[in-house]
Amino acid sequence: MRIAMIGGGYVGLVSAACFAEFGTEVAVVETNPHRLAALQEGRIPIYEPGLDKLVADNIEAGRLSFGADIAAAVRGAEAIFIAVGTPPRNGDGHADLTYVFAAAEQVARAMDRFAVIVTKSTVPVGTGRRIAEIVRHARPDLDFEVASNPEFLREGSAIGDFMRPDRVVIGTQTERAGGSERSQEILRRLYRPLYLIEAPILFTSLESAELIKYAANSFLAMKISFINEMADLCERVGADVHDIARGIGLDGRIGRKFLHAGPGFGGSCFPKDTLALMRIAQEAGASSRLVEATVQVNDARKASMGARIMSACGGSVRGKVVAVLGLTFKPETDDMRDAPSIPIIHRLVENGASVRAFDPAGMDAARPVLPSQGVCYCEDAPDAADGADALIVLTEWNEFRAISPRRLRELMRGDVVIDLRNIWEPDAMADAGMRYSSIGRPDGR
Ligand code: NAD
């Protein structure tokens, strides 16, 4: 079986490599010349654990190739996946579908046989049908179908998520007689290795599949906003948010995941997908009050982090050296999109701090989005802490957990540690003589 993947970013590249690992021949089309050059030279332009080996193995096996020539890629493909970006459109929260529609048109012009055009990108309800119109308009002669196969992988554990998913969702056109069966048959064959491990595969309409992705991300974002509100409450009443998370999460109806209090959600998906769902609901004349509250709570939380840091630093950071550990929006990725570190570091620098920053994978992606002056990029975490008056943890990379409070005390000039990811124990910090503040937990002894 042969397929094409339009877009070789976090989702397109991982999906392509995993499909190739399933034994499918995958041609990836990438228009970003830097990303394409890297891929063609055997380098991986993003950081994702395990991806370098998976890509190398499948190139070696002759199943995975990269190019800019869409016609060559779609020739003979039974399924053509669109995995391009859908960033928020300026101002109104709606997903920007420019790249998706451009890709659909390019695909239409390049197709040479029946194929199913599948959106892997997260797209608003109705996009699949608009893609069908675009393709029909560009190539009235073409025999094709459209399907939606939203992706649920998480950066940092993307390969495992793709290979052992909680579920696969496939939405197909249902109104054409027999129409959806052709798409379903192709996609069933493509995902056959997952049938063998009994991953649930859910067939739905196009609209349902499109909405499932937004509903899933908004629900997860809502869990995060909920536990963040609980963390604030814990701080007021002397409770511990870790105990609250465990105490409620062990209830199977609630579940333990996504109950980690922190500086507010960021990243390339939750902020834009919650806004897009609000917009979809608004356009459909439906209410989305829970999602609106989720977004408001998160915006307020992100904005409050600066004040929290200032207050922990004694009211001002002017003239102080502040170490920042972790820049990416979460560990095990180099993705800086909508990372909480961006507004926080801008605020620190605007208020006169000099920042010593370190991230294990995100430094290159961070440079263009952080202030051009006032930030020094360090060799490692101890180097960042060296001589700092205060230290802030923004991303919970495992290697930071390994640094003991006593070591921090030796390295730093000051004694203020603001841990927005709760990676250290308050008591251990207090024992080391640090003034430690974390999220939703009582201070150490
Ligand atoms: P990305 O920006 O990393 O990748 C998109 C890639 O598509 C870019 O490399 C871009 O150059 C390329 N591209 C754009 N137009 C093209 C065209 N016409 N032909 C060929 N290549 C083209 O984005 P991403 O993080 O991979 O996200 C892609 C989609 O998947 C988005 O809709 C996103 O919401 C969704 N998604 C992302 C994640 C995630 O964790 N990143 C998870 C699930 C779903």
Q: What ipTM score was computed for the predicted complex, to two decimals?
A: 0.99
Together in a domain, 282 and 340: no
Average pLDDT of span 82-103: 92
Q: What is the percent of the chain where pLDDT is above 90?
A: 95
Cα(103) to ligand 1 centroid in Å equals 11
Ligand 1 atom closest to residue 6's alpha carbon, by position in its atom list: 20
Residue 31 maps to a domain: yes
pLDDT tier, 181 (very low <50, low <70, confident <90, very high otherwise) = confident
Together in a domain, 335 and 417: yes
Together in a domain, 269 and 320: no
Together in a domain, 30 and 138: yes
Contact 329, 298 (CB under 8 A): no
Cα(274) to ligand 1 centroid in Å equals 18
Average pLDDT of span 184-211: 95
Together in a domain, 243 and 179: no
pLDDT tier, 179 (very low <50, low <70, confident <90, very high otherwise) = low
Residue 338 CB–ligand 1 contact under 6 Å: no
Residue 442 maps to a domain: no
Residue 269 CB–ligand 1 contact under 6 Å: yes
Together in a domain, 122 and 153: yes
pLDDT tier, 177 (very low <50, low <70, confident <90, very high otherwise) = very low
Residue 354 maps to a domain: yes
Tell me which residue has its CA closest to atom 27 in ligand 1. Answer: 85
Average pLDDT over the chain, rounded to whole?
96
Residue 31 CB–ligand 1 contact under 6 Å: yes
> H or E stretch including 192?
helix 192-196
Cα(172) to ligand 1 centroid in Å equals 21
Helix, strand, coil: what percent of the chain each, to 5?
Answer: 45, 15, 40
- The tokens describing 359, both together, are 């991230």
Ligand 1 atom closest to residue 123's alpha carbon, by position in its atom list: 32
Domain carrying residue 321: 305-437
Residue 122 CB–ligand 1 contact under 6 Å: yes
Tell me which residue has its CA closest to atom 18 in ligand 1. Answer: 103
Residue 204 maps to a domain: no
Residue at a domain's end among 175, 199, 223: 199
CA angle 37, 42, 48 (to 5 degrees): 100
426-430, Cβ contacts within 8 angstroms, sequence gap of 24 or more: 428/404, 429/405
Residue at a domain's end among 250, 274, 297: 297
pLDDT in tens, 251-306: 999 999 999 999 999 999 999 999 999 999 999 999 999 999 999 999 999 999 99
> H or E stretch including 66?
strand 64-67
Residue 381 maps to a domain: yes
Residue 209 maps to a domain: no
CATH classification at residue 289:
1.10.1040.10
Average pLDDT of span 235-248: 97
Together in a domain, 122 and 266: no
84-87, Cβ contacts within 8 angstroms, sequence gap of 24 or more: 84/6, 84/7, 84/9, 84/12, 84/121, 85/7, 85/9, 85/121, 86/121, 86/122, 86/123, 86/272, 87/272
Together in a domain, 32 and 178: yes
Angle between helices 127-138 and 206-237 (to 10 degrees): 140
Together in a domain, 134 and 20: yes
Residues 148-169, buried b or exposed e (16+ Cβ, 10 A)? Answer: bbbbbbbbbebbebbbebeebb
Residue at a domain's end among 237, 266, 297: 297
CATH classification at residue 337:
3.40.50.720
For the chain, give the longest Cα–Cα distance. Answer: 75
Q: Count the neighbouring beta carbons within 10 Å of the beta carbon of residue 351.
A: 16
Together in a domain, 286 and 322: no
Together in a domain, 314 and 246: no
Q: Count the neighbouring beta carbons within 10 Å of the beta carbon of residue 197.
A: 9
What total number of domains does the chain contain?
3
Residue 407 maps to a domain: yes
**From 18, 269, 313, 378, active-site residue:** 269
Q: What are the DSSP calls for 285-327, one per residue? A: T---HHHHHHHHHHHHHHHHHHHHHHHHTTT--TT-EEEEE--
Cα(8) to ligand 1 centroid in Å equals 7
Closest CA to 82 of 90, 94, 73: 73
Residue 267 CB–ligand 1 contact under 6 Å: no
Known active-site residue 269: yes
pLDDT in tens, 393-426: 999 999 999 999 999 999 999 999 999 999 999 9
Average pLDDT of span 175-188: 77
- The tokens describing 199, both together, are 């991953």
Residue 6 CB–ligand 1 contact under 6 Å: yes
Distance CA 439, CA 257 (A): 17
Cα(204) to ligand 1 centroid in Å equals 23
Residue 338 maps to a domain: yes
Contact 170, 203 (CB under 8 A): yes
pLDDT tier, 178 (very low <50, low <70, confident <90, very high otherwise) = very low
Together in a domain, 317 and 291: no
pLDDT for 421 equals 98
Residue 83 CB–ligand 1 contact under 6 Å: yes
Distance CA 396, CA 384 (A): 15
